Amino acid sequence: MAEAERPERSRRRTLSKGRLEAFSDGVLAIAITLLVLDITVRPPGALSDVLKEWPAYLAYIVSFLTIGAVWLAHTTLTEVLARTDPILLRLNLLLLLAVSVLPFPTRMVADSLSLAPTGPERVAVTLYGLVLLAVRILLAGLFSYASRQGLLIEALARPDSEEVAAVRRKFTPTIIAYAATVAVGLLIPIVAVAVYFGIAIFVATPFRQVGRLFRRQRARAANE
């Protein structure tokens, strides 16, 4: 690594990690908040009119959780990132591109989703799934590139370290799940959206911590 030989330049690169975080936080925060614009277009009506818009709410929640999960994973990455390099900054821009495109297929799904599959719905759900898949692949690529190029903190510097392998183990199944669901969506779009919802919940849930929390509370209750 050329940077290792030039300490001053390396220090500068560390600064741009701050801007990488700030810019990513900005784009993710805006993309996640803009989603609501996709469900504010209809005039208000009776309760049944509001409930009839359930596809818009479902698409909103799935997209919100997905972007939220990207933010959580991005936070995890920058926590272990020691420095950036020009290619990492561009890979990150590609990830932000995929995330900020998300409101577009989200609105398509919101506008076309119904219990009986239609042509537009199939197109919308497939496009939506492909963007979700691209987001996940780019996120995995970011981790993978950073670990291969030795950009992570010293504790994780070796690409064959246990923690890096754990992260990789976590990405592969979701990528496979997204790819499979895109195929399902070509047949039964509504099922695919339900699965995307499930994956988003699954990815965003910190099972280990919640489990620990419950065990601790049970232990506390038993002591009393």
Where do contacts with its own copies occur on this chain (CB under 8 A)? 8, 12-13, 15-16, 18-19, 21-23, 25-40, 43-47, 49-50, 60, 64, 68, 71-72, 75, 78-80, 85-87, 89-90, 93, 96-97, 100-101, 103-104, 107-108, 111-112, 119-120, 123-124, 127, 155, 204-206, 209-210, 213
- Rg for the chain, CA atoms, rounded: 20
Residue placing its CB nearer to its own copies in the complex, 83 or 176: 83
Residue placing its CB nearer to its own copies in the complex, 157 or 176: 157
Q: Which two tokens stand for residue 52?
A: 């009839």
Q: Coil, strand, or helix at residue 198?
A: helix
Q: Coil, strand, or helix at residue 152?
A: strand
Instruction: With beta carbons less than 8 A apart as the criterion, state whether 185 and 129 touch.
Output: yes
> What crossing angle do the helices spanning 119-148 and 189-204 adopt, rounded to 10°?
30
Q: Identify the burial level of 185 via C-beta atoms within 10 angstroms of its C-beta, where 0-12 means exposed, 13-18 middle and 19 or more buried.
A: buried
Q: Which two tokens stand for residue 193?
A: 């959206």
Residue placing its CB nearer to its own copies in the complex, 36 or 187: 36
**Measured from the CB of residue 42, what is the shortest distance to its own copies in angstroms?**
9
What is residue 55's DSSP assignment? H
Q: Give the separation between CA 6 and CA 8, rounded to whole angstroms.
A: 6
Residue placing its CB nearer to its own copies in the complex, 127 or 190: 127
Residue placing its CB nearer to its own copies in the complex, 78 or 191: 78
**Measured from the CB of residue 191, what is the shortest distance to its own copies in angstroms?**
19
**Measured from the CB of residue 183, what is the shortest distance to its own copies in angstroms?**
16
**Measured from the CB of residue 195, what is the shortest distance to its own copies in angstroms?**
20
The one-letter code for the residue type at 210 is V
**Measured from the CB of residue 103, what is the shortest distance to its own copies in angstroms?**
5
- Residue 36: count other Cβ atoms within 10 Å of its Cβ: 11
**Measured from the CB of residue 175, what is the shortest distance to its own copies in angstroms?**
22
Closest Cα partner for 96 from 149, 21, 180? 21
Residue placing its CB nearer to its own copies in the complex, 89 or 175: 89
